Amino acid sequence: MMEKQQYHLLVEGRVQGVGFRAATQRVAHELNLSGWVRNLADGRVEIMAEGTVEALESLLQWAKQGPRFAKVSDISLQSSAATHQFTGFEINADSD
């Protein structure tokens, strides 16, 4: 079994109101990742994803562009060991 990792991404730019969360969920499902995505009150999108490093790197590369109308200006990444606490990949309600 391949070791799983967790990536915590904060995506900046024009990333809200452009379908970023739904597109992230679709890509995560295709990559067999678990976790969640949500909008933050400051305009960023936050992604918490777990899976193989290869799949997580694919998600990271995709997130640098995002969906068609997004304009990503920066991404911060924190990597850690997987917690195995997620089932599926969900869109969480906007945070305060």
- CATH number, domain containing residue 61: 3.30.70.100
Domain-embedded: residue 40: yes
Domain-embedded: residue 91: no
Domain-embedded: residue 95: no
SS3 sequence of 47-79: EEEEEEHHHHHHHHHHHCCCCCCCEEEEEEEEE
Structure tokens at 15: 């990333």
This prediction's pTM: 0.94
Residue 95's pLDDT band (cuts 50, 70, 90): low
Residue 71 region by backbone torsions, left for phi larger than 0, else alpha for psi between -120 and 50, else beta: beta
For residue 54, give its domain range.
4-84
Structure tokens at 45: 């999108």
Instruction: Provide the number of structural domains found in the chain.
Output: 1
Burial 35-68 (b: 16+ CB within 10 A, else e): bbbbbbeeebbbbbbbbbeebbebbbebbeebbe
Domain-embedded: residue 78: yes
Q: pLDDT (tens digit, 9 = 90+) per residue, 41-75?
A: 999 999 999 999 999 999 999 999 999 999 999 99
- Cα 49 to Cα 29, 36, 69, 93: the distances in Å are 11, 6, 22, 16
Domain-embedded: residue 24: yes
Q: What percent of the chain has pLDDT over 70?
A: 96
Domain-embedded: residue 9: yes
Domain-embedded: residue 14: yes
Domain-embedded: residue 57: yes
Active site residues: 21, 39
Residue 2's pLDDT band (cuts 50, 70, 90): confident
